[in-house]
Amino acid sequence: MKINKICCIGAGYVGGPTMAVIAKKNPNLKVTIVDINEERIAAWNDSDVSKLPIYEPGLAEIVAETRGKNLFFSTEIDKAIDESEMIFISVNTPTKTYGKGKGMAADLKYVELCARNIAKVATTDKIVVEKSTLPVRTAQAIKSILSNTGSGVNFDILSNPEFLAEGTAVQDLLNPDRVLIGGDSEEAIDRLANIYGSWVPQDKILRTNVWSSELSKLTANAFLAQRVSSINAISELCEHTEADVNEVAKAIGMDSRIGSKFLQASIGFGGSCFQKDILNLVYIARSYGLHEVADYWEQVIILNDHQKRRFSDHLIKTLYNTVSGKKIAMLGWAFKKDTNDTRESAAIFVADHLLNEQAEIAVYDPKVSKDKIQSDLNYLNTRSPEENQQLLQSKNSPYEALDDAHAVAIMTEWDEFKTYDWEKIYKQMKKPAFIFDGRNILDKAEMNKIGFEYYSIGK
């Protein structure tokens, strides 16, 4: 059976770009992305592609090329399930905020709802593909829900974790290091491999059992996050010695066993995956009684929290131990450049800490909306929405945010920040004018020459 129609439940940061690239590379395949969120689907269907709900370089062009031809966005979930031979589940799996495993385990309610929906609607055989990051053995749960429908429909379950990073999603999808497919049915794996095979060489398509595939996704994210925490731990040591973390990163990165990527010291990692997946790994390890394993990985999160906290502590200490009533400009709110995603962004935690110290914050981010910034803060429940709105304002231009500020904190490594007229900014700011560069993107010598007091990470 050749696959002619597929659908993806969940039109988010993973489902959107992944399906757009699959559609582009398989013009004969009808690809429908469905979501319960009507507003989001309407934004994906907006005739102005600059209004798509997620920002990713290169994505708008692909959507413009494929939408209405073989790529469709819809809220008609049942219809899409019914007509598709293959269904991807790409819904969110946030950390649980209630009950058993609160703050640690993944909340699988959205995945389970999808499985139940598929079970209810399907009248013909389906291949169900888990795309969301899921705890090991989730496929078993999906299988159990699907195989007990009594409808006689056969379901094959595959695990096909996504390794794209936001900000480079399109490039990562077009040139993946590997595509991983876990499953028991060779036939089902072949069908999915064929879809990727229209642009990914077969030797990059790995086949494993379902559990290895699920665990590989968690492990990959844990290893990546661990590298960031490792270099961030060394950055603190550098600040107390005469070492420079960039020099150390370069020196160790040239060892081919270590490698040069992902060694950028920072204000701490954010994003929807790293923290969630490690917490998940820790929870799973503990649930098997593997406490040493759990403690080992938990330390990656502890160090990351410490890195965010020590950035704001240092800022406060340097501003003569008080930021009360002082204007602090924040450049960047997204968790990394080239995305409008703010989930777990270090900026949120630093802002919250500074607001507790009664700072007044002005934020500028090239892609994050004012509403998103306020809702990120409100979500923490530290103070009322009215207070947040009063104390933290978003500005339409960096110069507005920086005007009359005591200090600027660089939270995201957006390229445009490097190109600003820093002499003009210096003139606009209160003196002494401080820069806290949480991403090490500016040149210290140059900033000192202009007159700034410049601090970065790990120097």
Binding site for ligand ADP (CB under 6 A): 9-15, 35-37, 40, 77, 90-92, 110, 113-114, 132, 272
Tokens at residue 194, please? 């064929």
Provide the minimum distance between the beta carbon of 116 and ligand ADP in the complex, in angstroms, as a whole number.
Answer: 9
Closest CA to 351 of 291, 308, 321: 308
173: amino acid identity, one letter = L
Size (the chain), residues = 459
Binding part of the chain for ligand UDX, among 51-59, 111-119, 269-277, 308-316 by CB under 6 A, reads: 269-277
By CB under 6 A, is residue 55 in contact with ligand UDX? no
Nearer to ligand UDX, 224 or 433 (CB): 224
Provide the minimum distance between the beta carbon of 276 and ligand ADP in the complex, in angstroms, as a whole number.
Answer: 10
The answer to whether the beta carbons of residues 228 and 269 sit under 8 Å apart is yes
Nearer to ligand UDX, 131 or 327 (CB): 131
Binding part of the chain for ligand UDX, among 24-32, 266-274, 279-287, 403-411 by CB under 6 A, reads: 266-274
The answer to whether the beta carbons of residues 103 and 61 sit under 8 Å apart is no
Nearer to ligand UDX, 274 or 414 (CB): 274
Provide the minimum distance between the beta carbon of 133 and ligand UDX in the complex, in angstroms, as a whole number.
Answer: 8
Which partner, ligand ADP, ligand UDX, none, binds residue 131 by CB below 5 to 8 Å per kind? none
Is 162 catalytic? The answer is yes
**Residue 112: CB partners within 8 Å, gap ≥ 6?**
141, 145
By CB under 6 A, is residue 315 in contact with ligand UDX? no
Nearer to ligand UDX, 253 or 451 (CB): 253
Q: How far is CA 177 from its chain centroid? A: 18
Mutual orientation of helices 274-287 and 291-318 as an angle, nearest 10°?
Answer: 140
Q: How far is CA 71 from its chain centroid? A: 24
What residues numbered 323-352 form the site for ligand UDX, per CB under 6 A? 335-336
The answer to whether the beta carbons of residues 228 and 237 sit under 8 Å apart is no
- Burial readout 251-289 (b: 16 or more C-beta within 10 A, e: otherwise): ebeeeeeeeeebbbbbbbbbbbbbbbbbbbbbbbbbeee
Is 239 catalytic? The answer is no
Provide the minimum distance between the beta carbon of 182 and ligand ADP in the complex, in angstroms, as a whole number.
Answer: 18
What residues numbered 119-178 form the site for ligand UDX, per CB under 6 A? 162-166
Can you tell me which of 111, 228, 300, 348 binds ligand UDX, judged by CB under 6 A?
A: 228
Distance of alpha carbon 175 from alpha carbon 65, whole angstroms:
19
Nearer to ligand UDX, 303 or 407 (CB): 303
Which partner, ligand ADP, ligand UDX, none, binds residue 17 by CB below 5 to 8 Å per kind? none
Q: Return the residue matching tokens 């777990």.
A: 344
Is 79 catalytic? The answer is no
Which partner, ligand ADP, ligand UDX, none, binds residue 15 by CB below 5 to 8 Å per kind? ligand ADP
**Residue 318: CB partners within 8 Å, gap ≥ 6?**
407, 434, 436, 453, 455
By CB under 6 A, is residue 263 in contact with ligand UDX? yes
128's enclosing H/E stretch is strand 126-130
Nearer to ligand UDX, 164 or 179 (CB): 164
Residue closest to ligand UDX, measured at CB = 271
71: amino acid identity, one letter = L
Mutual orientation of helices 15-25 and 59-66 as an angle, nearest 10°?
Answer: 50
Which partner, ligand UDX, ligand ADP, none, binds residue 92 by CB below 5 to 8 Å per kind? ligand ADP
Q: Return the residue matching tokens 């990073």.
A: 165
Mutual orientation of helices 210-240 and 291-318 as an angle, nearest 10°?
Answer: 40
Which partner, ligand UDX, ligand ADP, none, binds residue 135 by CB below 5 to 8 Å per kind? none
Annotated catalytic residue: which of 273, 276, 360, 413? Answer: 273
By CB under 6 A, is residue 270 in contact with ligand UDX? yes
Please name every residue paired with 327 in a beta bridge, in sequence order, or none if there are none.
360
The binding site for ligand UDX (CB under 6 A) comprises: 162-166, 221, 224, 228, 262-264, 266, 269-271, 273-274, 335-336
Q: What positions carry a catalytic annotation? A: 162, 217, 273
